[in-house]
Structure 1
Amino acid sequence: MRQSLVRKSEVSVSTPIIGVTEASLEDVLAKLGEPARAWCTANGFTGTASAFQLVPGLRGEVTAVLFGLSGERLAHPFSLGSLVRTLPEGDYHLDQTIPDHAEAALGFALSSYVFDKYKAQPAASRRIAVSDDVDLDRISVILEGVQLARDLINIPANDLGPEELAKAAGDLFNAHGGTGRVVVGENLLGENFPMVHAVGRASSRLPRLADYTWGKEDDPKVTLVGKGVIFDTGGLNIKPGNSMALMKKDMGGAANVLGLAAMIMAAELPVRLRVIIPCVENAIAGNAFRPGDVLPSRKGITVEIGNTDAEGRLILADALALADEEHPDLLLDMATLTGAARVALGPDLPPFYTHDEELAEDISVVSEAVSDPLWRLPLWQPYMSYLDSKVADINHINTSGTGFAGSITAALFLSRFVENSKSWAHFDIYGWTPMEKPGKPSGGEAQGIRTLFSLIEERFSKTQ
C-alpha cells in the first residue's frame, strides 16, 4: 500500500483532486472552463457529499477530479478511498480544498490495498502525491503494519500453517533486531503449554508457540498475545460448511498483533515489546481433544471442555499465563474469538474488555480520533458463574444453558489467567471486511491496531 502515496516533490505531473460543495461547485467550474461545466451538467454532478466526477480534457485525459464535501469536511475521514477503484492509473494530488490531507491520504492508501498474491495480473497503480507537511514516514509505518495483517489473514491455510505463521513472527522480529524462539510439538508439554498442545495435536502440522522480544530491557514492558488458529474445523464439534468457509481468518488475532508489532518496531517506540503467538490448526483425528475432557493449563487451573469449537480461548489462556508471569506494564490480546461479538456489534465494531478504567477511556478516545472503531463491553462478574464446572476448576464455555453473553463469558474466562499485569485488555475482533467500504477493501482486515499504535505511542513516549 505504500506505493499508493508519494511525496509531491517526487512527481513531475499529477492530476488535482478538488473538493467541492453544492454551493462552491459553480465557482470551481468557472475556473475549469465551460467544457467542464457542460460535462458535469450532462453527468448530473451537483457536488453532493462523497459524490465524484472525473473531468476530461480535449484528448480524453482526466484533467481534474471533483469530490463532494460535507460542508468543510469529508463526509467520512476515509471517504476519498471511494475513488481508488475508479481513477485511471496515474498520479494525483490533493488540492488545498481537500481538508486534512494526512487523513484523506491515509484513507486513499488504506483503500488501495489489493491482495493479488495469486493473481497473474497485478493491480493497477494509482498514487496520491502529498505535500511535505504530511508526515509520510509515520503514515507509511501504519500502512505497512496494516498490510502485514491483511496479507497474513488473506493467505489460505494450505500456504499458511502453524510453521509459516511462527516464521512470519520470526522474520518480522529478525528484521528489526529482535530475538526469540519457537516451542514445537511435544516440547509444548515439556515447557508447560498443555492446552496449546491439546488443541493442535490432531493436525498433521505440529502446534507451536512463538515468543519474541524487541527493545531495551529497562523500557516499559508491552506484551501482545494473538490467537493463531490457522484454520478451525471446529474439532470434534465440527462446524457446518458455511461456518467453515472463512476459517482461514481464525488467525486474525495473530495477524493483527504482528501488524501492531511491525508499527511499534518501525517507529522505534520506547518500549520493551514482547509478542506471544500460539500457532495451531484445530483439526480432527483420533487424538483430537474431546468435549468433556479436562485439560490442565499453564496457570494450574483445570479446564473442562464444553465444546471443541471454542478452542481459541484455550490456547490464549496458556499464552496469557506465560505473558502474565513477567508482570508487563501493558498486556493486550487479540483474537477472532466469538460469533457473539458479531451478533452484538457487527463485523466493523470489535468489542474490547478491560478492568482498567483509564485504559478503557484512552482506547475509546483514541479510537474515535483515528477512525478505528472499538467499543467497550463489560467484564460482568455475575456471569462468571456461567463458567462453573462440576468436575474441574472452570468450564471454558457458558454452561448455564442460556446461550447468552458469549463474548463476555469468553473474556471472563481469559481474565482468570491474568493477575500480575499492571493493565490488560482483550479484543474480540472479526478480522474481515465482508462488504467493501472506504478505507476497508473486502477481505482480511486490521482492526484496532491503528488505535493501539497511537495509544502506545502517546502513553509511553510521555515517560521518556
Structure 2
Amino acid sequence: MTDFSDLLKADNQQPARSIHLIDAKSFDNWLASRPAPVRALVAAQKFKGLPHEHAILPGEHDNDWSVVAGVANREALGSWCLARLAETLPEGSYRLAEGSAGAAALGWLTAQYRFDRYRKDEAQAGARILLTGDVARIGQTVQLAQAVTLVRDLVNTPAADMGPPDLEAAVEKVGAAFGASVSTIRGDALEQGFPMIHAVGKAADKSFAPRLIELHWGDAALPRIAIVGKGICFDSGGLDIKPSAGMRIMKKDMGGAAHALALAQLIMGARLPVRLHLLIPAAENAIAGNAFRPGDILRTRKGLSVEIGNTDAEGRLVLGDALTRAGEEKPDLIVDFATLTGAARVAVGPDLPALFANDEALATDIAAAGTQVEDPTWRLPLWDGYADMLKSDVADINNAGDGGFAGAITAALFLKRFVPEGTPWLHLDTFAWRPASKPGRPKGGEALGLRAVFHLLQSRYGRSH
C-alpha cells in the first residue's frame, strides 16, 4: 500500500520544485509576461491553461525546472485539480508557488493509489506535495486517503481472496488498531437469530460460510450510531442466476461493507465522541443443492415473513437482519451502504450514490455535506405509494418488486420495514466502482458517498482532540 504520509508533508522550506497554477482567465496575461523562449516551449507542449494540463518550464541552472498547471479556478482549488499532475510528474518534492494545496491534497494522494497485490511492478517513491498553512490538515487528509484506499483495495480484490472470512479478518485488523471489540456469528449458528443471512449464504462452501460481523467502539454513554454494510462477497444471482456479463464484476458486491468499514476507520481515527456499532452481514450468494429458491418463504430476525420473488435480490435480505440487530441497540442514527440495485445506476449513473432518508433534516444535511467535500449523493424518494409492489399473497412482504418499476425505491422500502420507527436512517445505494478512470480516481473499486457521510458525522457530533 502506498505510504500516503510520505507524500504529504509540511512545507519547512525544504528543496522542492515549484508548481504555478493558471486558469483560463489568467492564461493570456501570464503567457504574455513570459520571455520568448518560454512562450515557444509552452506552445511546443500545447499547454493552453486548461484544467489537468501542464507544461515544464526551464530554470536558470542545469536540472532546474518548474511546472505550470491549468486548473478550473486557481482561487478555489477542488479536490481533483492537481490529481493529473500527481499521476504524471516524476518522483520528488513539489510546492505551489502561490498559496497552499488545501482540498486538492486529497486528489494528489489518491491519484497515486496502486492496486499491486497481484503485480510485480517496481515500487515507486511517488510525488510529494508540501503543504503550507494549516498543517493539522495533513493528518486528516492522509486518513481520508487511507480510507479511500481501504475501500478500493477490498473491492478490487477477487472474491477467491475476499470471501466472508477475509472480510472478517479486515474488520478485525481495523478494530485491533483502535482497541475496538469484534465478534462474529458464523454458519449454522446464524439460523435462529439471523435466518435471512443464513439462507443467502448457506449454499457457499463451508470455508466461505456466512457470518454477521459486529464491531463496538467508544464510550457507551456517548450518542450511539450504527453503520451497516452489505457484504455479499460474490453474487452469482443464486438460482435466478445472472448472465456472465452481469457476474463479471460481482466481486464488488461487498462494496457496501468496504464503505462501512472505511467509515468506521475514519470515525475511530478521528476519535469522534460517539458509540460506534458496525455491522457487516457477509455471505456469498452461491448455487448448490441447498440454495434458497424463488418462492421460498424466509423467517427474519424481526419476525416478518419474506417471500422470495428473486434470489438475485439477496442484498436486502442480509441487510434486513442486520438493520434489525442495529435497531435493538436504540441508536441515534443508522447509516447503511449497499451495492443494492442496478436500478439506481440506471437512474443516477455510476458517480452518484442514490440516497434515501426517512428524516428531512438528515437528508438536507447529507446533501450539504456531499457538496462541501465534493462527494455528491442524489436523493430519491422513499415513496410509500410503491409499497404495494412488494406485496405477497402468502407472506408479509416479497423481496422483489412487481413489474420492474422503481427498483431502487422498492429496495429501499423493503429495508425501511426493518428500521425502527422514529430512528433517523440513511441508505446509500452506491456503485462502489468506477467504470472509467478520472484524475485521482482510477478504474475499479471506488469510495462513493464515504466522505460525505463522514463529513456529516463530523458536523453533527464534533471531534474529540
Q: TM-score, normalised by structure 1?
A: 0.94
User: Structure 2 matches for 1:445-464, cutoff 5 A?
Assistant: 445-461=446-462
For the structure 1 residues 371 and 178, does the alpha-carbon distance in structure 2 shift closer, same or farther, using more than 3 Å as the test? same
SS of residue paired to 1:209:
strand
For the structure 1 residues 307 and 8, does the alpha-carbon distance in structure 2 shift closer, same or farther, using more than 3 Å as the test? same
SS of residue paired to 2:103:
helix
Deviations 1:82-107 (A, max 9, x none): 2233212222112215xx62211112
Offset, 1:320: 0.3
Deviations 1:250-292 (A, max 9, x none): 0000000001110000010000001000110000000000000
For the structure 1 residues 58 and 117, does the alpha-carbon distance in structure 2 shift closer, same or farther, using more than 3 Å as the test? farther
User: Structure 2 matches for 1:299-314, cutoff 5 A?
Assistant: 299-314=302-317
The equivalent residue for 2:129 is 128
Deviations 1:131-150 (A, max 9, x none): 24241011112111111111
Contact residue 330 and residue 421 of structure 1 kept, 8 A: no
User: Structure 2 matches for 1:14-163, cutoff 5 A?
Assistant: 14-22=16-24, 24-25=26-27, 28=30, 33-57=35-59, 61=63, 63-73=65-75, 76-96=78-98, 101-124=101-124, 125-134=126-135, 135-163=137-165
Deviations 1:326-358 (A, max 9, x none): 110010010000000000000000111111000
Name the % identity: 47
The equivalent residue for 1:238 is 241
**What is the one-letter code of the residue matched to 1:194?**
P
Q: Is 148-157 or 28-37 further displaced after alignment? A: 28-37
Deviations 1:232-253 (A, max 9, x none): 0111111111110100000000
CA distance in 1, matches of 2:172, 2:400: 32
Deviations 1:216-241 (A, max 9, x none): 00000011000000000111111111
For the structure 1 residues 101 and 84, does the alpha-carbon distance in structure 2 shift closer, same or farther, using more than 3 Å as the test? closer
**What is the one-letter code of the residue matched to 1:447?**
L
Q: Is 160-169 or 119-128 further displaced after alignment? A: 119-128
Deviations 1:384-408 (A, max 9, x none): 0000000100001102x2x110000
Deviations 1:86-131 (A, max 9, x none): 212222112215xx62211112112221111111114531221212
For the structure 1 residues 167 and 421, does the alpha-carbon distance in structure 2 shift closer, same or farther, using more than 3 Å as the test? farther
1:362 aligns to 2:365 (yes or no): yes
**What is the one-letter code of the residue matched to 1:263?**
L
SS of residue paired to 2:87:
coil
For the structure 1 residues 61 and 25, does the alpha-carbon distance in structure 2 shift closer, same or farther, using more than 3 Å as the test? farther
For the structure 1 residues 123 and 383, does the alpha-carbon distance in structure 2 shift closer, same or farther, using more than 3 Å as the test? farther
CA distance in 1, matches of 2:361, 2:103: 26
SS of residue paired to 1:102:
coil
CA distance in 1, matches of 2:89, 2:76: 18
The equivalent residue for 2:433 is 432
1:268 aligns to 2:275 (yes or no): no
User: Structure 2 matches for 1:188-199, cutoff 5 A?
Assistant: 188-190=190-192, 192-199=193-200
The equivalent residue for 1:407 is 408
1:292 aligns to 2:295 (yes or no): yes
User: Structure 2 matches for 1:207-222, cutoff 5 A?
Assistant: 207-222=210-225
Offset, 1:30: 7.3
RMSD of aligned Cα (Å) = 2.1
Q: Is 157-166 or 13-22 further displaced after alignment? A: 13-22
Deviations 1:67-86 (A, max 9, x none): 12335446854121122332
**What is the one-letter code of the residue matched to 1:92?**
Y
CA distance in 1, matches of 2:335, 2:59: 53
CA distance in 2, matches of 1:463, 1:42: 52
Q: Which among 389, 392, 411 is matched to residue 392 of structure 2?
A: 389
CA distance in 1, matches of 2:280, 2:457: 20
- Size of the alignment, in residue pairs? 459
For the structure 1 residues 463 and 264, does the alpha-carbon distance in structure 2 shift closer, same or farther, using more than 3 Å as the test? closer
1:223 aligns to 2:226 (yes or no): yes
1:331 aligns to 2:331 (yes or no): no
Contact residue 5 and residue 105 of structure 1 kept, 8 A: no
CA distance in 1, matches of 2:138, 2:398: 49
Gaps of 5+ in 2: none
Q: Is 110-119 or 70-79 further displaced after alignment? A: 70-79
Deviations 1:135-181 (A, max 9, x none): 10111121111111111111111111101101211221121011120
CA distance in 1, matches of 2:379, 2:435: 22
For the structure 1 residues 118 and 371, does the alpha-carbon distance in structure 2 shift closer, same or farther, using more than 3 Å as the test? same
Offset, 1:13: 2.0
1:375 aligns to 2:378 (yes or no): yes
Q: TM-score, normalised by structure 2?
A: 0.94
